[in-house]
């Protein structure tokens, strides 16, 4: 996960920068090290595959 300026994150799929309130964190249930930040548009394309969970509020990771 790439946090930019303390209050923004870069989408791991489209590489655009969004406020933390506008992104979600896709996590693999069996691998705690696997985390991918996705914007709303990319999340709509990727979805939440079986074996993954989605954390919609990641604002606590900012400053």
pTM across the whole model: 0.83
Please tell me the number of Cα atoms within 13 Å of 16 on its side-chain side. 10
Tell me the pLDDT tens digit for each residue of 19-37: 989 999 999 999 988 999 9
Q: What is the DSSP string of 1-63?
A: --EETTTEEE-TTT--EEEGGGEEEEEETTEEEEEEEEEHHHHHHH---TTEEEE---GGG--
Supply the pLDDT for residue 57: 84
Supply the pLDDT for residue 40: 94
The model's confidence at residue 63, banded by pLDDT at 50, 70 and 90, is low
Quote the CA–CA distance of 40 and 46 in Å, as a whole number: 10
């Amino acid at each position: 996960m790439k946090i930019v300026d303390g209050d923004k994150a870069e989408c791991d799929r489209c590489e655009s920068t969004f406020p933390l309130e506008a992104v979600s964190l896709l996590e693999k249930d069996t691998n705690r090290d696997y985390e991918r930040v996705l914007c709303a548009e990319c999340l709509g394309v990727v979805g939440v595959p079986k074996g993954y969970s989605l954390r919609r509020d990641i604002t606590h990771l900012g400053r």
